Structure 1
Amino acid sequence: MTAPINTGHWLPGRCLAAAGFVVVALSSSSTGSAQTPTRLLVTVLDETGAPVAGLTRDEFTVRLDDVELDLAGVEPATTTMQVVAIFEGLAVTQQQLTSALSQFIESLDDASIVDMQSVDGELDAAIIEAIVDLSARAAPRPVILMLGQASEIAPSSLPSSQVRGRRRATDLDGDIDGLATSLREHGILFYGVSTAQVPLTNFKRLAAGAGGNFHTIAAPRDLSGTMDAIGRELGTQYILSFS
């Protein structure tokens, strides 16, 4: 499934700061074009994974296919965001979820909007719905936040056809590359948190392809801290513009 293309947003990227300098390496295969992007939304992390604030133009180098680009300017990204949070199968209590959402919302500025979206059908369709929703709003900083993961009915060991197995956590199915492309084309970051102790390779690949991150936490008590960290990362990003 694909969503309509909106070229008015930026291309997202993640990189590490080393010795006070940031090198952003792009390739035609990752950007979908050999042309210089108009704007680049960059998340800069230190060696501990914490976001780095206060960087200036002189500390960035951007290369496309190993060719250094002419960087016109660097500025902090606006901290006002519109977030669609998709809740599906997150194994936490209502109190833990409410506390974590409150922590996340408090980490954003007062003008940010966070909407909850339920899943009615396939999860990849719900993600597409969120993409279309955020695109229709022309949101300046659109973000999809996945709370949980996909699920499936586990086969029952009982012989009766009337008995269904329990639901169990599973990875995202469908066209992951297509979803990542749609997210990038709309400038939508994709983040997620799950407590499921099963491989969630496709969720992590989707988040990485859209410039975000997908966290698997060891216990529900870690949810609030993880949500706060996501909010702080979103509030410490940069817009790079090119001449």
Structure 2
Amino acid sequence: MSEGHRRSAEPESPARRPRVRLFLEQPLGEGQPLSLPAPAAHYLGSVMRLQPGAEIAVFNGRDGEWRVRLEELGKRGGAAQSLTRTAPQRDPPDLWLLFAPLKKARTDFIVEKATELGVARLLPVQTDFTNAERVRRDRLQAHAVEAAEQCGATHVPQVEDLRPLAAMLADWPEGRHLWWADETRAGAAARPDLGGPAAILIGPEGGFAPDERARIAGLPFARPMALGPRILRAETAALAAITLWQATQGDWR
């Protein structure tokens, strides 16, 4: 391998990286031509005021981050070419977040911050006290993409369709621990102490219904998770739980 190739495989310093990052679901590799869809071309040319010849950072969730040179920008799309890899692929720990959707802005907040904190998969669940009856999965996925673009991640968590919590638990994969935030345990000391594939479950405003809490507590793969001495809002609980798990079992250790 040449010295140039060795250098390109190493992470590029933040000071030298392009200021614009873009997620594209296309293969990335040295010399790889890229097709820019119309929304991306519009963003780069009209919003960011870039011209052909400018360089941006691109990632696809599989091949790391690449320095890319813009070749064409137009109303119907554009073209670019991959140059060198600026960062390796870094996937987050195998952590899922199950959460009951809240009002629009607060659900957006959960998706964005969970992406930044390093969650691998996002699963909205319908509980007895969930206020939202439907979610726009495509809109939430777009928020996850934008968060990954802004925070330097090379992975974008998949946002799943809304499912009833009971159905989700009935079809639970073997070997994955479920840590559930039970607001009745405020002040308790329970915290994640098992490694391996995991998931965090955050309830809705008002918490879990009594029968839901009893069912979850009786599951062999479920364990309660305490989040300090105060009862937290649902979106705060999601961030606190992810942070606690990452610090004890994830890639923050």
Same fold (TM over 0.5): no
TM range (shorter): 0.3 to 0.5
Compare relative contact order (CA 8 Å, sep 6+) and give the higher one, 1 or 2. 1
Provide TM-score, normalisation by structure 2.
0.32
Provide TM-score, normalisation by structure 1.
0.33
